[in-house]
Structure 1
Amino acid sequence: MAETSVHAAPAPAEAQGELSIRTLAMPADTNQNGDIFGGWLLSQMDLAGSIYAYKTTQSRTVTVAIEAMTFRKPVYVGDVVSVYATTVRVGRTSITVHLEAWVQRRKEARLILVTDGNYTYVSVDDHGNPQAIAQESLRTTI
């Protein structure tokens, strides 16, 4: 993933939200340039968001939209990738989650924000149909 600075909002100084997933970037996850493939990072963020959405709504959720993604820095083999989640909004059937992917590079102590964006999930029943999110089941920590 190439570095970009195309009108991106300034990066926060530290991770915001709840740690939802942590993983290690491996050689099998690289693109033709030797950097970690952007699609791999998006999938890790989606996994983290779906874990967070389930914990928050206490219901099965499916991804319906990814918006406002900003690729800020590349991810390299050996980076520890941590994804943090915060609730943006909860609707009748959906939840929008802001996700931040941070890395800790080898031989560095500080975390670096590499990607962030908003993912929207819809609560579904056993047949895959949208269902209302039970307001009483929402975690009180959002």
Structure 2
Amino acid sequence: MTLSRNSARFFWKSLPQEVKDTRPELAAVWRIGQCLWKRDYAGVNTAAQGFEWGPDLADFITAFLESYRQRIFKLLTSAYSTIRVADVAHFMGMSEEDATNYAVQNGWSLDAAAKMLTVKKPKSQTNQKLDASKLQRLTECVFHLEN
């Protein structure tokens, strides 16, 4: 992870100032990256939604935010059994109403009086047994990729 962060910093510092000035979307992407590295979950959403993206990047940013929200939701699901609506809204970069709707649509339950959400844990998956032929094919594939 450090290598990626350092590479990004080097890339940013090596960009000529005139490129940064004429391409404001680069600075906006840079702000998103900084928030990701700092684990500033709400900041990612603020940075992404606080810029008017051109048509060439708008769909990408929308898809990124949806994927990011799903990842954060999955993290919240694994970390909490109950959580305040305000905290979910903060982490997800949504209004409390939208965060509540998102959580309830994904199986969580709401205690409206306490403004708390009860997390629905996913059913644990059973491990599949790997037969010898699948292991052999996997080994051959890895061997082929390495050579």
The verdict on a shared fold, with TM-score over 0.5 as the criterion, is: no
TM-score, scaled relative to structure 2: 0.29
Larger radius of gyration: 2
TM-score, scaled relative to structure 1: 0.30
- The structure carrying a bigger helix percent of its residues is 2
- The structure carrying a bigger strand percent of its residues is 1
